[in-house]
Amino acid sequence: MAGSDTSGLERQARETVEHLASFERGSASEGEHRAAQWIAARLDELGAPAVVERESAHGGYWLPLGLMTLAAGLASLLHSRLAWLVAGGAMAAAVADDTGGGPKLFRRLLPCRPTWNVVASAGDPEGDRTVVVVAHHDAAHWSLLFSPVVPEFIGRKFPRALEKADTTPPVIFPVFAGPLLVFLAGLTGSRLLRRLGAFLSFGAAAVFAEIGSRSVVPGANDNLSGVAVLLGLAGLLRDRPVEGVRVLLVSTGSEESFMEGMQAFGRRHFPRLPPDSTTFICVDTVGSPTLMELEGEGMLLMRDYPRELKDLVSRAAADEGVELVRGLRFRNATDGLISMKAGYPTVMLGSITEFKAPANYHWPTDTADRVDYGTVAGATLVCRRAIELLGSR
């Protein structure tokens, strides 16, 4: 890897991850708030004045999605096609809204808590172009659904299938399909569709109950590695700002509850960020062995990131001598989905293992000692070089 900053970046990243992973940081929790305050203070020290912005979030996805699927399942037990039609259709629409970066209308019926975003300014404050680099500091609940045994088993037993695979499994498809089938049963009167819809809906509700019962993981790779990139960039931009480019370093809360913090950032800041002069770089889970640039993402509807920007980031990686894998699409969602849907040129950097999955994803082993800090440093240098290339346009 090129660049004299690598060892210092790795050391700083390790210190950041070890400290923040030492306490629990669930979405919209006091631990998340504590992390936000620490990150803001550290950014200030690194020459990037930061503020902590209080927003509102539900702070979880298992309760809203669990209630949606449970409602569809219960409706399917009624002897009323109208109930199947109305409940199935409404809950299918609610699932699509909640998982696709929509306004999350169903959640407005549920309690909310404070969540905390950090926004810092770096680079040229008078720059005509703005680059927003986004990570998140909250951590997820673990679940048997996320067991690393699954991708490892597939990779070892079916290596050719893994080699050909370019998209992660669509885990939300059955969640959406349950209520949708109940709706279609109401439309057609099909008892088979009703039974299938009931099975999927009740099954999904059970999975969400299991997720809600689990503890919060340390979240070192996902996504304190991204936070470490923000702090590394702050130092690099302090020492050598890119002329003409203002950089916002943003660490969101409640990303793990389906990007609630990023949506709040958008409501507050998008009106002052013109899409024709603003670019977003989402940095999420960059502590696995190999740095990766997503082609696209989306839980239900796949949305590709703009090719021109992906090519620019690939060039940045080549300039820095950093290996960067492309060609993968995730049936997940990151904060990058929110800015992309709002019309901003956006790119997303992540990382993968040999099994094409993030290391220790949503698992209790996502600890600071298992992060590949060389990859974190590489991601920092790639972001820095991408900012330079954007500034030279």
Q: Which residue has the tokens 């670019």?
A: 279
> Would you say residue 49 lies in a domain?
yes
Q: Which of 181, 212, 243 is the last residue of a domain?
A: 212
> Would you say residue 161 lies in a domain?
no
Regarding whether 235 and 297 lie in a shared domain, the answer is: yes
Q: Which of 183, 212, 241 is the last residue of a domain?
A: 212
> Would you say residue 239 lies in a domain?
yes
* Prediction pTM value: 0.96
Name the β-bridge partners of 54. Answer: 116
What's the CA gap between 107 and 88, in Å, rounded? Answer: 17
Q: Please name the residues in contact with 61: beta carbons below 8 A apart, sequence gap of 6 or more.
A: 98, 208, 256, 257, 258
What's the CA gap between 190 and 368, in Å, rounded? Answer: 52
Extract the tokens encoding 349: 């950097």
Extract the tokens encoding 206: 């059970």
Q: Domain total for the chain?
A: 2
Regarding whether 100 and 188 lie in a shared domain, the answer is: yes
Q: What is the pLDDT of residue 393?
A: 80
Regarding whether 301 and 326 lie in a shared domain, the answer is: yes
Taking each helix axis from N to C end, the angle separating 373-391 and 225-239, rounded to the nearest 10 degrees, works out to 50
> Would you say residue 151 lies in a domain?
no
Regarding whether 193 and 316 lie in a shared domain, the answer is: no
In Å, what is the CA distance from 315 to each residue of 60, 133, 374?
Answer: 37, 18, 19
Regarding whether 290 and 190 lie in a shared domain, the answer is: no
Regarding whether 194 and 282 lie in a shared domain, the answer is: no
Per-residue pLDDT of the chain (393 residues; tens, 9 = 90+): 444 458 999 999 999 999 999 999 999 999 999 999 999 999 999 999 999 999 999 999 999 999 999 999 999 999 999 999 999 999 999 999 999 999 999 999 999 999 999 999 999 999 999 999 999 999 999 999 999 998 999 999 999 999 999 999 999 999 999 999 999 999 999 999 999 999 999 999 999 999 999 999 999 999 999 999 999 999 999 999 999 999 999 999 999 999 999 999 999 999 999 999 999 999 999 999 999 999 999 999 999 999 999 999 999 999 999 999 999 999 999 999 999 999 999 999 999 999 999 999 999 999 999 999 999 999 999 999 999 999 998
Regarding whether 172 and 263 lie in a shared domain, the answer is: no
Domain limits at 173?
63-108+168-212
Extract the tokens encoding 74: 């219960």
Regarding whether 289 and 251 lie in a shared domain, the answer is: yes
Where residue 252 sits, what CATH number does that domain have? 3.40.630.10
Identity of the amino acid at 364: P
